[in-house]
Amino acid sequence: MNQLTAYNRFFVEIIDTINSARYQAFKSINKFHIGQNFEIGRIIVENQEIYKWGQSIVDTLSKDINKQIDGVKGYSPQNLWRMRQFYLEYKNEPELLEMAMKIPWGQNMLIIQQLKDNNERRYYLQATDRLGWSRAVLLNQIKANAYRHQLTNKKISNFGKALPVYLSEQANEALKSEYNLDFLGITRPVLEKELENRLIENIRDLLLELGYGFSFIGNQYRLKLNQKEYFIDLLFYHRILKCLIAIELKTVEFEPEFAGKMNFYLELLDQQEKQDDDNPSIGIILCPVKDNLEVEYALRSSNKPIGVSEYKLTQRLPEKYKGKVPTTKELKQMLKKALHKADSGDYSNDTTFDSI
């Protein structure tokens, strides 16, 4: 090992130590902050019940706090109401409260405001903690119904066989059973090259859909063996898994040979691009349709970690339903008409919603 290589490894170890200490400090402070907000919410609720105070007490409280603790943000009337709501939501849910203590306040508020089912809340609390989802990524996952998809669509991979246990669990968390590419606005069949180009043009939305930790390296990433060249559709580096992730895009139903090709690409990546302190490279094959049993058989002989997921391109109305249900514009017109009739009290011969 030469001096430069030794120093680089030494430097990385120091940086990892610093970042780890910072992260642990953040977790400790965050837990204290969330606990404080829960306690403030409890005090507000209990005193309102005892003294029959109304909503105005929160406005008064906010003003007085900011006079006493000058320059400290976070005690606006709106945020005090959120603390109150936070307490009411979790006062009888110690398990959820413990999970909530592990993620930032903004993500907690998003989960409370967007979700009412405790099972859904549990899923997003755990995923946000484990994968470090930002508020934007969390919102994207909720809007894409990640919880529902993980219930109905089985994740298919060989991570358990091809990776160590600790890394297999993390990789499985990072893999989705289905990816929503609705942001591309594609409503017709496309070639793989066009699909790839659209994803590159919308790389920010793609990174949000993939989830936290993905860093884009390039598309049509070139690998070479002897005199032949090979190209990976999309190549990423995952900062949490600490490995390269190759994504292959398919516009046809999954075929077993896709797994063999990906296995070959991962072998080249590990030999040519993987750094000494990186974990084994991972492959993800995205198809519009897959047969789970066929995928399982195709991955049995692979010695590289590969996952296969479906994607959907649009949530727009299927062609066969057009003309049979109202458009968004028509629904707005119907609603406006209904509200007008409600205001006037005239419901005679009302056919406003007959077409729905």
How does pLDDT run across 220-257, given as a tens digit for each residue?
A: 899 999 889 999 988 989 888 889 999 998 878 889 99
The pLDDT of residue 22 is 84
Compare 172 and 85 and report the one with higher pLDDT. 85
Compare 159 and 221 and report the one with higher pLDDT. 221
pLDDT tens column, 165-179: 768 877 777 776 667
CB 303 within 8 A of CB 260: no
The pLDDT of residue 66 is 87
Determine the average pLDDT of the residues in 54-72.
87
Determine the average pLDDT of the residues in 108-122.
95
Kindly report whether the global pTM for this prediction surpasses the value 0.85.
Answer: no
In our burial notation (b when 16+ CB lie closer than 10 A, e otherwise), range 309-334 reads bbbebeeeeeeeeeeeeeeeeeeeeb
Q: How does residue 180 score in pLDDT terms, banded at 50, 70 and 90?
A: low
Q: Of 99, 93, 89, 94, which Cα lies nearest the Cα of 130?
A: 99
Q: How far apart are CA 43 and CA 25, in angstroms?
A: 27
Q: How far apart are CA 187 and CA 325, in angstroms?
A: 18
**DSSP code per residue over 305-329:** -EEEEEEE---SPPGGGBTTB--HH
List the CATH code of the domain at 158-312.
Answer: 3.40.1350.10
Q: Which residue has the tokens 């909720």?
A: 142
Q: How far apart are CA 177 and CA 299, in angstroms?
A: 16
CB 313 within 8 A of CB 182: yes
Determine the average pLDDT of the residues in 49-59.
93
Lowest mean pLDDT across 27-36, 193-202, 299-308: 193-202
Q: For 248, list phi and psi in degrees, rounded to 5.
A: -110, 130
11-25, 105-119, 251-265, 287-301, range with greatest mean pLDDT: 105-119
Lowest mean pLDDT across 69-83, 199-213, 338-352: 338-352
Domain ranges of the chain: 3-150, 158-312
The pLDDT of residue 205 is 67
Residue 342 reports pLDDT greater than 50: no
Compare 324 and 224 and report the one with higher pLDDT. 224
